[in-house]
Chains A and B, each alone.
Chain A
């Protein structure tokens, strides 16, 4: 049962052309010329209830435009959006009752009110039954460790505290669907981890469907089994993160510590990149040789004290996909 269905979704913006120089200024005054920018260009996807999907793409790729259309803040130029049984931009008031949204870059709380007051207001806005409100508030505040700053005005919170408060605020009304837009941006490692832990919990324990946009690959690795990648308004990839890694991941590395010095340590199928002081580093590709084969080969010839395999990081893979346009043309 899908909660989000998107078909041939398009959004075009008119950007007025500006001519430069004296004559250009005059032309700007007299004529209005526009360039059509395709922010989202014919994308299709469905998301099932209970999924946690990562939505990735470089800046300006069309991520926020898609999210704005999914939340009803933008009307599509063409195509269909159906979320939670409604067309967001047509039935916004009804639709937003059942969704939650967290934007890392801005708060949905009231700047000058203490956190708890903002949450109280949300209780009235969403007409949350008092019992349900109390239960949720109790659970979220303890999981997110918010007790210490419930009475602090939002403007005096640290970024990490504000983010936790915002996430709590977005979930009090038991939404079916949660949009998380860069929820870990600017946070330290511990704060990031705490938020990931919580996101995973509400997805698995409460079955809230989550669409996560982020630039933090650790978020993706820890949380999303499925990712969608958008660039230049087109959906380039939709599938498992691991598949992407297998196809486009860089070389794996094997680091070997030998028990005694050997003059010559090359092995077929792998490239020796570094050899110094009993420690050798090999690069090898998944397609050519497996880690166990390589280790087998080495251990028959040399006495090995220790070894470790390093997987290529997702961050690098994604960067290569954006920069080298690896996916263009095969979406």
Chain B
């Protein structure tokens, strides 16, 4: 646990140093969000709301999803893949440390910086310019926070597994891109999942992706409350457990393959 903390802190400090990149990213992020919301507003047209999303909800949806792009590394994360392909992985395996937790610790540090420098700032900026819906109770804020943490773990588990494909393929980046694209669709990043036909929503909810993004919006805007909220948090937790188990098992197979086939 101590080691986990040491890695997290150092990763946090390191990501804090990339300030120029953070500012540039922030600006892009802000305008990209405006572009996205214009499309959604055009779909809304003269109607009051679609599937529970009025103007304020749409702005909130857009602000939230923009705010957590970097937190969840939605646009791709290939660090582990690169380490496998460059052979750095060998020196990591020569250290007596848990491999999954080592990468998780670094990702937590990274995500914490992303949440502070990007997430909070984006939410504040959008609140300034647009009418939005915000949580109304301490309980709701807590639920959002818990859901955010679980979402990061789900996202990490998914990204870790996707990156492990590098052990099997020398050109796993394509697999990675495919995976991330699928995740945009099913997580509700391209459009709120409520806008899709019922059968698409049903399929989406068989995957972990809505639980990494869409549910955060639904909790934040108050669409998910009471037992449904509890149920959602539980499903998030189940996905975390499942993905981490899968990550450990796959990693073991991957390392076995590596030590038999050579790097």
Contact = CB atoms under 8 A, between A and B. Distances in A.
11 contacts: A39-B262, A73-B93, A92-B93, A96-B94, A99-B94, A103-B91, A106-B88, A121-B10, A122-B95, A124-B2, A126-B96
Contacts of A73: 90, 93-94, 258-259, 263
Contacts, number: 65
B97 interface: yes
Given A106-B87, A108-B91, A125 B259 contact: no
Nearest to B99: A93
Given A113-B10, A125-B3, A74 B262 contact: yes
Question: Which interface class (under 10, 10 to 19, 20 to 34, 35 or more) fits B?
Answer: 20 to 34
B206 interface: no
Interface string A60-84: 0000010010011111000000000
A97 interface: yes
B260 interface: yes
Contacts of B6: 120-121, 124
A45 interface: no
B7 interface: yes
A176 interface: no
B260 A75 contact: yes
A13 interface: yes
Interface of A: 13-14, 39, 65, 68, 71-75, 89, 92-94, 96-97, 99, 101, 103, 106-108, 110, 112-113, 117, 120-122, 124-126
B42 interface: no
Contacts of A75: 256, 259-260
Interface string B2-30: 11001100100010000000000000000
A121 B7 contact: yes
Contacts of A89: 259
Name the 7 nearest CB pairs between A and B, nearest first.
A108-B91, A97-B96, A124-B3, A75-B259, A125-B97, A124-B6, A96-B96
A150 to B, nearest CB: 15
Interface of B: 2-3, 6-7, 10, 14, 86-88, 90-91, 93-97, 256, 258-263
A113 B97 CA distance: 18
A72 B2 CA distance: 26
A189 to B, nearest CB: 27
Contacts of B2: 124
A112 B93 contact: no
A14 B14 CA distance: 42
Contacts of A122: 95
B11 to A, nearest CB: 9
Contacts of B260: 74-75
A230 to B, nearest CB: 17
A112 B262 CA distance: 27
A99 B91 CA distance: 12
A70 to B, nearest CB: 11
Contact of B261 (A13, A92, A126): A13
Given A68-B263, A113-B14, 5 more contacts: A68-B90, A73-B263, A96-B96, A121-B6, A121-B7
Contacts of A113: 10, 14
Contacts of A72: 94, 259
A108 B94 contact: yes
B262 A65 contact: yes
Contacts of A71: 94
A99 B94 CA distance: 9
Nearest to B259: A75
B3 to A, nearest CB: 5
Contact of B262 (A13, A93, A103, A121): A13
A106 B87 CA distance: 9
A96 B92 CA distance: 11
A158 B3 CA distance: 29
A182 to B, nearest CB: 15
A253 B228 CA distance: 92
Nearest to B256: A75
Contacts of B93: 73, 92, 96
A14 B257 CA distance: 13
B262 A101 contact: no
Contacts of A99: 94
Nearest to B97: A125
A59 to B, nearest CB: 16
Contacts of B258: 73
A107 B10 CA distance: 18
Contacts of B91: 101, 103, 106-108
Contacts of A65: 262
Nearest to A65: B262
A117 B7 CA distance: 10
Given A93-B96, A125-B95, A125-B97, A74 B259 contact: yes
A71 B95 CA distance: 11
Contacts of A14: 261
A113 B261 CA distance: 32
A96 B90 CA distance: 12
Contacts of B261: 13-14
A14 B2 CA distance: 42
A96 B262 contact: no
Q: By CB atoms of chain A within 10 A, which of B86, B90, B96 has the most? A: B96
A311 B44 CA distance: 90
